[in-house]
Structure 1
Amino acid sequence: MESDSQLDPLPATAPAHRARRNIKTDVNYIPETENMNAYESCSSGSSDDNVNEDNSDSDDLNRGYRDEQDDVVSEDDAIEMDQAFVDSLRLGDDASRPQATDAQAYPGLKIEDARPVSALRTVAHSPLLTLFYFVPKSLWISIGIETNRYGLQQVPRRGEVIRGKQPDGRRQTLKQIRRRLKSKRGYDTHEILHVVGLLIARMLCPQQRRFASHWSMVEDVAVLAGNLKLLTGWTLPSVFSFDEGVLPATSKRSPTRMFMPDKPHRYGSKLFMPCDSRSAYCHRFEMYAGKRRDTKAETVFDHNTGAATVVRNLKTVLGSSTRQPWHVDRYYSSILLAIELLSMHVYVIGTIRTNRLGYDQRVKVKRQTRPRRIPRGSFTYSCSVAIPSMVPFHWWDRKPVHYLCTGVAMTESSIDRNIKQVGRITVPCPDAVSDHQRWMGGVDVHDQLRLQKHSQQMSTKFKKYYKSLFLGLLDLALVNAYISHKESARISGTVAIKRGEWYIVLHNQLLQLKAENFLGVEVTPPPSQKRKRTPLRATHALEQCDDWVTVSGTQKRRQRSCKVCALLRTNTKKKPFVTTFFCERCSIDDTKCWLCNKIRRYYKGVEKTCFEIWHDDFEGG
Structure 2
Amino acid sequence: MGQQLQRLEGGMTPLPKRQSLHSPEEEDEDSWTEPSETVDGNDSLSNGTDSSQPRVRGSFPLSTEASESSGEDEDTFSFETEAIETRASNKRKTISSPKGTQKKRRKKARPPSSPLWLSSPAKSRRNAHAATPLIIGSERRWKTEDEPDQEPKLFPFEPARTPGPQLDTSKNYTVLELFQLFFSNDVVDTLCSNTNKNAKRRHEQGFKPVSVEEMYNYLSIVIYMGLLNVHTVSDYWVPNRLYGIPFCRTVMTMTRFRAITYSLHMSDPAEDEENDKKKGTAGYDRLMRIKPLKDQILAACRAFYHPFQNLSIDERMVRSKARHSLKQYIKSKPYRYGFKLYVLADSRNGYTCDFNVFMSKNPSVSGKGESYDAVMDLLNIPHLGTGYHIYVDNYFTSATLFRDLYKNKLGACGTIRENRVGLAGVQENSMPPRAKRGTIRWLRDGELLFTKWMDARPVIMCTTIHKAFAKEQVQRRKRLEDGTWTTEPVPAPAPIKSYNKYMGGVDLSDSLIKCYSVAQKTMKWYKTFFYHFVDVAVVNSWLMHKDMAVTKNTKPMAQKQFREKLCSQLADIALKGDVQEERGEEQKEQPSEQRVERQGEKHGEKQDEKQGEEEEEVEVGLLCCPVPTKDPITVALCNKASEGRRQCHLCKHKTIWQCESCKVALCIIPDRNCFRIWHVKKDNDEQDSS
TM-score interval for Structure 1 and Structure 2 normalised by the shorter chain? 0.5 to 0.7
Q: Distance in 2 between matches of 1:521 and 1:395?
A: 63
User: 1:291: which partner in 2?
Assistant: 361
* Amino acid of the structure 1 residue aligned with 2:181: Y
Shift in Å, 1:350? 0.5
Q: Distance in 2 between matches of 1:237 and 1:143?
A: 32
**Structural mapping, 1:334-373, within 5 Å:** 334-361=398-425, 364-365=428-429, 373=434
Alignment partner for residue 103 of structure 1, among 151, 163, 173? Answer: 151
Residue 236 in 1 paired to residue 294 in 2?
no
Report the structure, 1 or 2, having the larger strand content.
1
User: 1:481: which partner in 2?
Assistant: 541
Secondary structure, aligned partner of 1:284: strand
User: 1:377: which partner in 2?
Assistant: 438
User: 1:153: which partner in 2?
Assistant: 201
Structure-2 change in CA distance of 1:501 and 1:312 (3 Å): same
1:9-62 residue CA offsets vs partner (Å, 9 max, x unmatched): xxxxxxxxxxxxxxxxxxxxxxxxxxxxxxxxxxxxxx99479xxxxxxxxxxx
Residue 439 in 1 paired to residue 516 in 2?
no
Q: Distance in 1 between matches of 2:498 and 2:116?
A: 29
Secondary structure, aligned partner of 2:314: strand
User: 1:511: which partner in 2?
Assistant: 571
**Structural mapping, 1:578-593, within 5 Å:** none
User: 1:139: which partner in 2?
Assistant: 187
Structure-2 change in CA distance of 1:302 and 1:154 (3 Å): farther
Q: Distance in 2 between matches of 1:219 and 1:511?
A: 24
CA contact (8 A) 1:93 1:382 kept: yes
**Structural mapping, 1:207-606, within 5 Å:** 207-208=230-231, 210-215=232-237, 221-223=243-245, 224=247, 225-226=249-250, 227-228=296-297, 229-251=300-322, 253-292=323-362, 305-315=370-380, 318-319=383-384, 322-361=386-425, 364-365=428-429, 373-384=434-445, 387=446, 389-410=447-468, 411-418=470-477, 422-451=485-514, 453-457=515-519, 460-514=520-574, 517-518=578-579
* Amino acid of the structure 2 residue aligned with 1:454: Y
Shift in Å, 1:189? 1.8
Structure-2 change in CA distance of 1:107 and 1:142 (3 Å): closer
CA contact (8 A) 2:473 2:490 kept: yes
* Amino acid of the structure 1 residue aligned with 2:563: Y
CA contact (8 A) 1:255 1:289 kept: no
Residue 202 in 1 paired to residue 225 in 2?
yes
* Amino acid of the structure 2 residue aligned with 1:449: L
Structure-2 change in CA distance of 1:134 and 1:405 (3 Å): same
1:120-157 residue CA offsets vs partner (Å, 9 max, x unmatched): 656774221111112222111100000000001111xx
* Amino acid of the structure 2 residue aligned with 1:448: S
Q: Distance in 1 between matches of 2:545 and 2:371?
A: 33
Q: Distance in 2 between matches of 1:48 and 1:341?
A: 31
User: 1:172: which partner in 2?
Assistant: none
Structure-2 change in CA distance of 1:329 and 1:306 (3 Å): same
Q: Distance in 2 between matches of 1:438 and 1:502?
A: 27
CA contact (8 A) 2:419 2:427 kept: no
1:356-389 residue CA offsets vs partner (Å, 9 max, x unmatched): 122243565599xx97x523112101112xx2x2
Residue 117 in 1 paired to residue 165 in 2?
yes
* Amino acid of the structure 2 residue aligned with 1:461: K
Shift in Å, 1:409? 1.4
Q: Which runs of 5+ in 1 are unaligned?
A: 1-46, 52-75, 159-180, 294-298, 523-621
Shift in Å, 1:230? 0.4
Q: Distance in 2 between matches of 1:407 and 1:381?
A: 14
Secondary structure, aligned partner of 1:265: coil
CA contact (8 A) 1:105 1:408 kept: no
Alignment partner for residue 211 of structure 2, among 182, 188, 196? Answer: 188
Q: Distance in 2 between matches of 1:98 and 1:344?
A: 32
CA contact (8 A) 2:430 2:441 kept: no
Shift in Å, 1:463? 3.3
Shift in Å, 1:95? 2.7
Shift in Å, 1:442? 0.5
* Amino acid of the structure 2 residue aligned with 1:392: F
Structure-2 change in CA distance of 1:281 and 1:510 (3 Å): same
CA contact (8 A) 1:363 1:380 kept: no
Structure-2 change in CA distance of 1:317 and 1:471 (3 Å): farther
Q: Distance in 2 between matches of 1:147 and 1:365?
A: 61
1:211-246 residue CA offsets vs partner (Å, 9 max, x unmatched): 234346788723224011101222231111011111
Structure-2 change in CA distance of 1:439 and 1:447 (3 Å): same
Shift in Å, 1:198? 1.3
CA contact (8 A) 1:380 1:394 kept: yes
Structure-2 change in CA distance of 1:110 and 1:118 (3 Å): closer
Bigger CA drift: 482-491 or 118-127?
Answer: 118-127
CA contact (8 A) 1:416 1:424 kept: yes
Structure-2 change in CA distance of 1:319 and 1:495 (3 Å): closer
CA contact (8 A) 1:124 1:485 kept: no
Secondary structure, aligned partner of 1:193: helix
Q: Distance in 1 between matches of 2:219 and 2:332?
A: 31
Secondary structure, aligned partner of 2:181: helix
Structure-2 change in CA distance of 1:219 and 1:493 (3 Å): farther
TM-score, length basis structure 2: 0.54
Bigger CA drift: 356-365 or 184-193?
Answer: 356-365
1:407-439 residue CA offsets vs partner (Å, 9 max, x unmatched): 311222012335575254322112111111111
Q: Distance in 2 between matches of 1:198 and 1:138?
A: 20
Q: Which runs of 5+ in 2 are unaligned?
A: 1-114, 120-124, 251-295, 584-690
User: 2:112: which partner in 1?
Assistant: none
Secondary structure, aligned partner of 2:350: coil
Secondary structure, aligned partner of 1:285: strand
CA contact (8 A) 2:451 2:493 kept: no
* Amino acid of the structure 2 residue aligned with 1:511: A
* Amino acid of the structure 1 residue aligned with 2:234: A
Greater C-alpha Rg: 2
1:261-300 residue CA offsets vs partner (Å, 9 max, x unmatched): 121001111111111111111110111122226xxxxx99
Structure-2 change in CA distance of 1:135 and 1:111 (3 Å): closer
Q: Distance in 2 between matches of 1:186 and 1:230?
A: 30
Asked which structure has the greater RCO (Cα within 8 Å, sep 6+), the reply is 1
* Amino acid of the structure 2 residue aligned with 1:358: G
CA contact (8 A) 1:363 1:393 kept: no
Using the aligned pairs only, state the percent identity.
Answer: 19
RMSD: 3.6
Q: Distance in 2 between matches of 1:285 and 1:124?
A: 29
